[in-house]
Copies of this chain bind each other. A is one copy, B any other.
Amino acid sequence: MRAITSSRAENLSIGELSKYSGVNIETIRYYERIKMLPAPPRTASGRRLYGPAEKRTLAFIRRSRDLGFTLEEIRALLDLGGPERASCADVHKIASAHLAKVRSKLSDLAKLEAILAETVARCTDGAAPDCPVLDILDAGRQGD
């Protein structure tokens, strides 16, 4: 088990960063490959060493992903929030576009839930002669 300390310096190995951030090791390397994360410095033997900046960036990405932003959107947000944190208007544009998408998905999903719930409810006994779920899915005879 070897004790996960080693934070004597503020440098983290990829495994520690992974545990800390809740982002899979493979995913961290993937982020580096696609340039979501800068390539960190390495030890003499080639192991990645992450400092507090990378830690923060990864946390930002993680949180944004949780909120459903795509990596492309996050890239834009990172650029905007980078060196000069000027353009709140641009950030607002990205975030509200995303919000609109979330809302539309939400309403679709709500409709879907209603249909499914209603359908499933109609055969809770499991003894119906014809299966209403299949009938719903099989619909299309009425317009045919």
Using CB atoms and an 8 Å cutoff, list the residues of chain A in contact with chain B. 56, 59-60, 63-64, 66-68, 77, 80-81, 85, 88-89, 91-92, 95-96, 98-99, 102-103, 105-106, 109-110, 112-113, 115-117, 119-120, 123-124, 126-128, 130-131, 133-134, 136-140
Contacts and interface: CB of A to CB of B under 8 A. Distances in A.
A64 B120 contact: no
Which 10 pairs from chain A and chain B are nearest by CB? Answer: A88-B131, A89-B126, A59-B140, A81-B134, A99-B116, A95-B133, A91-B133, A96-B120, A106-B109, A95-B120
B138 A60 contact: yes
- What is the copy number of this chain in the assembly? 2
Contacts of A120: 92, 95-96, 99
